[in-house]
Amino acid sequence: MELTRRAAPNVGLPMDTSIPSQNMDSILNRNTPAASIYQKSLNLLDKLACINGFETYLKSLLEDTTRDAKNGTPYLNPIQLLWDTFRQGTSLCVIYNALQPVEPLSTTLDESSNLLRQRKDRVYRFVKACKDNRIVREEDLFTISELFKDDTNSFVKVLKTIEAVVDTIEGRGLLDMSRMTEKPSARFAEAQMGPPQDNRERLIKEFVDTERKYVHDLEQLQ
């Protein structure tokens, strides 16, 4: 016997195929990034200005907004500024010491010795201290090579680590907001990134431009 399909009766009831507005909002919100890396860098920069001892790095790198005294190239974005600052190594030790640990990290360098080697040593000590004292989860810690690599993906990991440490400092009530007389982020509010001078600047510019376009496209969907 051959089986035949019988069409379902049409009872004339309207079918609602629209997506509830509440669900649509959830879909859009789920795809929207909490904050761009550029904005995160600005926020972190302002918090770092509240850490005792960190003003030394902001004074030498931000007051004249120059990257190199020889060529006077200006810092036109916070990513470049933070990247160079963290590579000094001692700046990371200053951040860690804001936690008021029992054993503070050294924040000085011997000018007569290999500076790059010493800076990497300070970076190592910072990462190790964060790991040993469980300030940052091990999987979220950056490596020395990632900090000194000209790769924006590596910088994102560096930023995540520092954010976690600063959040811990703030959570313990050790972030002195009264120290910030001027927001460093304000210096970048109207800054526009000029032509890249080297490979790292080119990577940063491409990264920021791509991220801004991505955020803009998402905003257009809402």
CA–centroid distance for 21 within its chain: 33
93 touches 109 (CB < 8 A): no
Residue 165 is part of which domain span? 36-184
Q: How far from each other are the two terminal CA atoms of the chain, in whole angstroms?
A: 55
179 φ, ψ (degrees, to nearest 5) = -75, -20
140 touches 161 (CB < 8 A): yes
Cα dihedral 146, 48, 106, 114, rounded to 10, equals: 50
Residue 50 within any structural domain of the chain: yes
Average pLDDT over residues 196-213: 62
Query: 205: closest CA among 79, 66, 87, 84?
Result: 79
Q: How many Å apart are CA 170 and CA 160, to the nearest integer?
A: 15
At 5, list the tokens.
Answer: 């399909």
Q: Which residue has the higher pLDDT, 32 or 99?
A: 99
50 touches 179 (CB < 8 A): yes
Residue 85 within any structural domain of the chain: yes
Residue 52 within any structural domain of the chain: yes
Q: How confident is the model at residue 222 (pLDDT cuts 50, 70, 90)?
A: very low
Percent of the chain at pLDDT > 70 equals 61
Q: For the packed helices 90-97 and 78-86, what is the interaxial angle rounded to 10 degrees?
A: 90
At 162, list the tokens.
Answer: 């520092």
Residue 171 within any structural domain of the chain: yes
* pLDDT recorded at residue 205: 63
Q: How confident is the model at residue 185 (pLDDT cuts 50, 70, 90)?
A: confident
70 pLDDT higher than 50: no
18 pLDDT higher than 90: no
Q: How confident is the model at residue 96 (pLDDT cuts 50, 70, 90)?
A: very high
At 105, list the tokens.
Answer: 């990290």
pTM exceeding 0.85: no
Tell me how far apart the 2 most distant CA atoms of the chain are, in Å: 98
How many domains does one find in the chain? 1
Residue 219 within any structural domain of the chain: no
Residue 128 within any structural domain of the chain: yes
Mean pLDDT score across all residues of the chain: 76
What CATH number is associated with residue 45?
1.10.418.10
